[in-house]
Each structure stands twice: as C-alpha cells, then as structure tokens.
Amino acid sequence: MNFRVGVLTCIACTAFLAGGQRAASAAEATIHHIHITTPSALEAVAWYSQYMGCTAIADRNDAAKCGSVELLFVVQPSMGRSQDTAVDHISFSFPDLTAKIAAFEKIGVRGGGVRFQRFEDGAAIHDTPGWFKSSFLFDPWGTRIELVEDPATVGFHHIHLNSIDPDATIKWYQANFGGKPASLKGRTNGLRFGDTWVLVSKPAQGRPAPMKQRAIDHIAFAASGYDNATAELRKQRVTFIEEPAVPRGGRTAAKSALVTGPDEIRIELVEPGFAGVKAEAAPAAAVADNRKPYTTPKTPWGEPDLQGIYSGNAAAGIPLERPKNLTDTKTLTSEEAAARQERRTLASIWGYDREWRDITLGYAKQAPSTQVAMVIDPPDGRIPALTPEGQKRAAEARQRAAGEEAADGSHQPVPGGPE
C-alpha cells in the first residue's frame, strides 16, 4: 500500500475490536449503488433488466434496481474494463446457471449480447468442489460479471474487491461502514450487508489498477447519521476527493461525498434518499436552415452540378421507416437518440471490448440525430403499401425474373420482390 492507504489500514486495525466487533463510531451503512460507465444509460438499463433480472427505476432513465442495490449508469468517457481494478467484478446468482448460460450461448455477442470469459479448458461454466457453479462474462461496456448458482441468495450476489492486504481491507470497511464479517463457503473472506456480500481477495498480479472512469468508477454506501459518518472519516485522515454537498442537478436534497479507501478504491458516501443527478441533455445534431434565395450551380453543359463529397454521418442509425412503437413520437429525446446509436454500435462490434468502438464503421462522433425515420411523408413515416395494380405488376415482374434466372443463371432484383 502507499502511505495514505497504510495510515487508513493502521487506524482500521485499532478500530477493529476483539471478537470481530466494529468501533462504536462506525457508520450504520448499506450498499447503495455501483457507478457504471456507459455511452447510453437507457441501453444499460435495458441490458441489465433483460439479462440480469434488474428492474428499471420509475421516473429515472439512469438506474436499475438489482435487489437492494442500485446500478447507476453514468455517461462519460471510459478508460477500460473493470477487471484488475480495485472493484474487479460484480456478481449475480441464478437458480439454474446451466440453463442461464445455455440461453446466453444462443444470444451470442452480436447486437449487445454477452461475451464470456471462458476458463482454460474453454468451458463457460466451472463447478469447483466446495464452491458454486460459476461463470464469467462482460457486459457490452466492460463491467466484469460473475454468475453463480447460490440458492441461498438469488439475484444480486456480491461485489468482489481486489486488495493487496485483504484482511486489513475487510477491517477498514467494517470499522467505517459496518457489515458482518463472514467467509463465503470458507474460501473467500468478506462482509455481509444484508443479503449482499463484499468479498475481498488478492489480485492475480501486482496492484489493483486505478478505477477512475473505468467500467466501474466507484461504489457507494448510504450512511445514517451522515454528518457524523463523514466527520469520523476526517478524523481517520481519509482523503476526500469531493466534499460532502448536495450535487449539482441532484434529484433530492441528499448529500454525497467521494473518498479514497484502501488500494485507492473510490467510494461515494451518500445520505439516505440519494437518487442520483439529472444528466444535462446533450445538444441534438445541428440542422442547417438555408431557407434563403439559392442559385443552383450548373455544369458547363447546363445541368445541375451535383459534384462533391457527401457524408451520411448525420443520418447514422436513422431507420428508413418509422418504428411501429414510435407512432406518436415526433422527435426523439437526446437520450433516446444516443440509445439508438449505441444499439447500432453494439451490433457492429459484436460484443468486443470498448477499445474497438472508435474503429467501428459508422460510429458517429457528433451528437446523434433525433429524427425518428427517413420517411417523413406520409406523416405516419411508413412506405405506403402497393395498390392492387402495383401488386399485380410486381408479381408479374417476379415471374419474369424467375424465368430469366432459370434460363441463364443470372439474378436481377425485382421491384417489390426479394433481392
């Protein structure tokens, strides 16, 4: 540990009383949320709701409830995945892991599915004696997730920390935030906060990597007696990255603060009732207003001059026809436009690490367009169906093409028919 963390650990050791009792001044805290970095909060909420059984929180578009813990999705640049940082991974438990993994295998990684971190023998599941059936995968934005089969705790299961001194780290958390010391299956030590575990083990090699702006940026505890809890942290010379205050754009008047714990972990301490902050809407793609007299340039032979370089970036991801679930939507919100662009990006990178995002074809750099569909007339945004006469002509054209293809083996696209 560096000097700062060493001081914290030493104080924590003195505060950790005989018999595993914590100091009387320790905060009564619960695990509140895990801050996850993503390009689109809406897409992240949808992903964790679909695959991990979490539930979108009413009146919010940036968080999902997973048991007693919130996953808070924040749109910000990312420095990479969570593995090997101070928070290596989070975990969910399912009653039948084999069936769950089989379902994931069918989904694959394309279009924002899952990417397994397979074991050395290539298997997606290991059934280790004395442990659970377990599997590792990454969400589309680099958060490492362990899936386990623990019938005693189904749903959100644990947060797994990396620490160069696990015992001292466990004592530090108990002294400052409470929790009950316990050993999961006699293999990994940690603390229990209600039904949720915080497990701590040594990293595979070296020191844990910095967390800031990684897939998991920080974890958060909610403390009763908030002012006393922050004052106690000051007495222990804990470093405050952000001072206690109601955050700008906070949905409630609850205060939050950001501190550094053992192994440079980033921890947010919030008052009960904290509900995140309202994100500032990104500006929509600019649309030029050129409604003034215009003289069409002509070629030397008198025809309109259409020479130039044309880019479709501003239209990236806009469907040709209006989706049927957006019948009454005149324009997308900036968050909905970002979610649509994210779905398009995920479909093209096939679940690879976020480092591939910048070389993905069509990954637009500007704010995505909020236009609902390319077709704007008719007003419903749908291409009109063929008239009976049009259907007859299309059928005749398909028959002619089929006959021509049978004769010479060629294939010509037919209006109104399959290519």
DSSP secondary structure letters along 262-282: GGG-EEEEE-TT---BPPPPP
pLDDT in tens, 157-182: 999 999 999 999 999 999 999 999 99
- pLDDT in the model for residue 317: 78
Give φ, ψ of 174 to 5 degrees.
Answer: -70, -40
Residue 271 clears pLDDT 70, i.e. is over it: yes
Residue 12 clears pLDDT 90, i.e. is over it: no
409 domain-assigned: no
In whole angstroms, give the CA distance from residue 175 to residue 12.
6
92-95-98 Cα angle (round to 5): 90
Tokens coding 415: 């209006």
183 domain-assigned: yes
55 domain-assigned: yes
In whole angstroms, give the CA distance from residue 288 to residue 274.
41
**CATH classification of the domain holding 131:** 3.10.180.10
Q: Which DSSP letter does residue 164 get?
A: S
pLDDT in tens, 374-415: 888 888 889 999 999 999 999 999 998 887 766 666 555 545
195 domain-assigned: yes
Full-model pTM: 0.76
In whole angstroms, give the CA distance from residue 104 to residue 234.
46
pLDDT in tens, 124-147: 899 988 889 999 999 988 999 999
116 domain-assigned: yes
Of 176-185, 190-199, 241-250, 330-339, the range with the lowest mean pLDDT is: 330-339
Domain limits at 14? 3-270
Contact 217, 227 (CB under 8 A): no
pLDDT in tens, 18-39: 334 444 344 579 999 999 999 9
Residue from 247, 192, 259 nearest 219 by CA: 259
- pLDDT in the model for residue 314: 65
From the number of C-beta atoms within 10 Å of its C-beta (0-12, 13-18, 19+), residue 257 rates as: buried
In whole angstroms, give the CA distance from residue 118 to residue 58.
36
414 domain-assigned: no
327 domain-assigned: no
Give the chain's domain count. Answer: 1
pLDDT in tens, 289-313: 656 788 889 999 999 998 888 766 6
- 3-class secondary-structure state, position 406: helix
Residue from 266, 254, 175, 184 nearest 222 by CA: 254
What lies within 8 Å, CB to CB, of 373 at 6+ separation is 318, 319, 320, 321, 322, 323, 326, 381
In whole angstroms, give the CA distance from residue 89 to residue 113.
18
Question: Quick one: what percent of the chain has pLDDT higher than 70?
Answer: 80
Contact 107, 97 (CB under 8 A): no
309 domain-assigned: no
Tokens coding 102: 């089989």
**Number of C-alpha atoms within 13 angstroms, CB side, residue 268?**
26
Of residues 70 and 22, more confidently modeled:
70
Residue from 55, 57, 58 nearest 67 by CA: 55
Beta-bridge mates of residue 197 = 158, 192
